[in-house]
A and B are shown apart, each in its own frame.
Chain A
Amino acid sequence: MNDGIDVKSMHDRGRTPSQWKYVLCIAPMAVFLIVTFFWPVARFLFKSVDNSDLVSNLPRTVIALADWKHTDGIPGEDVFAALVQDLADAHANGKDGIVAQKINQRVVGTRYLVIKTARIAAKGGFAKEALRENVLKRFSKWGNIELWSAIANDLKPLTEFYLLMSVDLQKNPDGHYESVPEEQAIFLQVFGRTVWISIVVTLICIVLALPVAHAIVAARPNVARVLITLILFPLWTSLLVRTIIWMILLQGNGPINSTLQLLGVINKPLNLIYTRFSLYVAMIQVLLPMMIFSIVAVMRRIPVNLMKAALSLGSPWLWAWWRVQLPLIMPGIFTGSAIVFVFALGYYITPALIGGPREQMISSFIAFYTNKTLNWGLASSLSIQLLFLLVLVWLIMLMSRFVFLKRTEK
């Protein structure tokens, strides 16, 4: 035995390099996804707290304002000197626009104030003596204490400003958190609306999917195949095309309205498009196939004779269905609901095209703050909220599924 082959070490030697080969196979995809997906998303989400555009362009002001509190009144000569110097540098480096934008996001209507101040500062337009008075004489807005406390409150490399704003909160001059004024509070309402729309869509999908799934499972194989193809076909058609079709169908002089008018049911066109109704109709048509397929996948595995057994024991059909069939379908309903709900939460194109202003969901606002106002911090904060919602939904789904399975096992 002593001159025998050490089988174990040979096995290990043979095994290690071959595993490396497989790791090397996975590496390209991993690197690709990190570069084109994970890194861009992480980089974008970081913008929700990133304050470097403001802080790095106002280095002297940051130091000068360190000990200033809003109860001290309008800052003194040294702060004004620091600000004028910083803005002059920012103008020279072409950064005055971004500084103005960041300050304007905090106190609306100060964009031109900052840009003009920077331009004059760069030209040396403010006299060195009595600088503070000089600036205040030209731009009385710099005498606004709220502007100063908004700036001083937020001169840190990382800011909570955008995250707070995305849940309708703000930091008051004392450093406490408070709700924003009512006319500015929009985001919690948008979140509520997004969740509500997604819940309604998911519930209606469940109700509509159940009979179809039953019919597919009960049908002969050929009929079932035709039904599945008919459901697969719209799923396969582009989301944009389906949304446009609903726009055409629901518009004032579209087929639905003209048919109803022809039949004399109505005498003037119904207002169908740009309503909550049109959004539901379009979203459910898009998402329903996924619910149907999730339920069918589970139903196919349920033995048919369970229902028959319950019925033969004298149970009324609905009761048998409720007690025997439904618990077995539940996992499919959970999976389908998770898919439908998560997709619904992120809807952007359909509400943008077919919903009115009161139907816009979080995604539309993320796009809006990116495209229209370039407020990356807010767009990113809203995205974080959306992802948070998503994770929450998945956790609830997992938990309810777990609890449910525990209960049915008993």
Chain B
Amino acid sequence: MIRNAEDVRRWLMNSATCLVIVYLVLPLIVLIPISFTSGNTLTFPTPGWSLRWYSEVFSDERWINAFWNSVVIAVSSTFIASVFGILAAIGLTWGKIPGRNLIFTLAATPLIVPVVIVGVASFSFYASLELVGNRISIILTHAALSVPIVLTTISASLRGFDRTLLRASASLGAGYWRTFYKVLLPMISPGVMTGALIAFIISFDEIVVASFLSIGSQRTLPRLIFSGVRESLNPAIASVAMLLIVFSAFVLALVVWQHSRRVRLSNR
């Protein structure tokens, strides 16, 4: 009797879980057939299969241009956020800084403040410097949004780092930079890489700030999709969305791989 009730409960729980997973994942999968349609509209079932919308995307200069804009912006902002993040993480983890928790909280505010406020505020700020439509304004704002993530992941790996290794390295005659490059950086690299990959994807996928700051030929990929969607939902958009999902999945795989590396490093 009890045995039975528990089975029913487990069955209910598992089916509820399956339904939720389907709700979360199925939409992403349904996009695959839709993006390969041969028709002119996004109907499903599709009238036929073709690669025409993908070839259209790859031959359209605007999409290619926007893709490179996004890559340049994401790489630059990730680099800036990582440099500031590594330095600050070292200072905050190893130093005995008064008000350390306050600094962590303040550094996390870019994540908490609604992005639309960050977007409008940056727009107003960079407009006064005549930098709207310039990549620099987006790069700096995206870097500010990424700093909390990078800071958190790097701090986590620094806490697991044995500082006697630094003294060992110094006693063997290595200077600051040499110790940093040869000892510290390789040891914390999984944390740095995880933070950097998340920062990259934050910038690469970011649309709200971009919708205020990126205009004309400097439009990022999400920005171009956003304005395209507002005009019409056509299959080219579905193809670009599909490419973005594949791209994100690839970066996610890298993150998971880095994470397993970190686990292995810390188990050694």
Contact = CB atoms under 8 A, between A and B. Distances in A.
Do A and B truly interact? Answer: yes
A409 B238 CA distance: 53
B143 interface: yes
Contacts of B174: none
A36 B205 contact: no
A25 B244 contact: no
A244 B110 CA distance: 26
Contact of A245 (B28, B84, B107): B28
B121 interface: yes
Given A255-B34, A317-B5, A29 B85 contact: yes
A249 B25 contact: no
B118 A37 contact: yes
A346 B90 CA distance: 32
A232 B94 CA distance: 32
Interface in A291-341: 317
A241 B245 contact: yes
B20 A288 contact: yes
Interface residues of B, number: 85
Interface string B184-198: 000000000000000
B112 A245 contact: no
Nearest to A343: B114
Contacts of A244: 225, 229, 233, 237-238, 241
B107 A33 contact: yes
Given A37-B110, A366-B120, A212 B87 contact: no
B109 A37 contact: yes
A376 interface: yes
A47 B128 CA distance: 13
B117 A386 contact: yes
A353 interface: yes
Contact of B87 (A29, A246, A259): A29
A222 interface: no
Contacts of B107: 29, 33
Interface of A: 19, 21-26, 28-30, 32-33, 36-41, 43-45, 47, 208, 211-212, 214-215, 218, 227, 229-234, 236-242, 244-249, 251, 253-255, 258-259, 285, 288-289, 317, 342, 345-346, 348-349, 353, 363, 366-367, 370-371, 376, 379, 383, 386-387, 390
20 contacts: A22-B90, A22-B97, A25-B90, A32-B143, A39-B125, A43-B121, A45-B121, A212-B21, A230-B21, A236-B252, A238-B248, A239-B205, A244-B238, A249-B30, A253-B43, A258-B45, A317-B9, A349-B208, A383-B116, A390-B113
